[in-house]
Amino acid sequence: MSDNRLFEATMESFPDGIIIADSNNKIVFVNTAAEEIRILPTSAKLNRKT
């Protein structure tokens, strides 16, 4: 398993919402729990300013 896949699998396993932004405050990762909390599809959140 690649490091990226392992990271994503680990983040998805958390029951808490996780949203990760890059140094430009753009969202680069949203796990399923965060998606359910925020009520936006993941594709709509990625690359949006936080």
pLDDT for position 50: 54
Count Cβ atoms below 10 Å from residue 39 Cβ, excluding itself. Answer: 6
- Take residue 6 and report the two structure tokens written for it: 């392992």
Spans in the chain with pLDDT lower than 50: none
Dihedral sign for Cα 22, 14, 6, 38, please: negative
pLDDT for position 12: 94
pLDDT for position 47: 62
Dihedral sign for Cα 17, 22, 25, 29, please: negative
Helix or strand run (H / E) with residue 29 = strand 27-30
pLDDT for position 46: 62
Rounded Cα distance, 31 and 42, in Å? 8
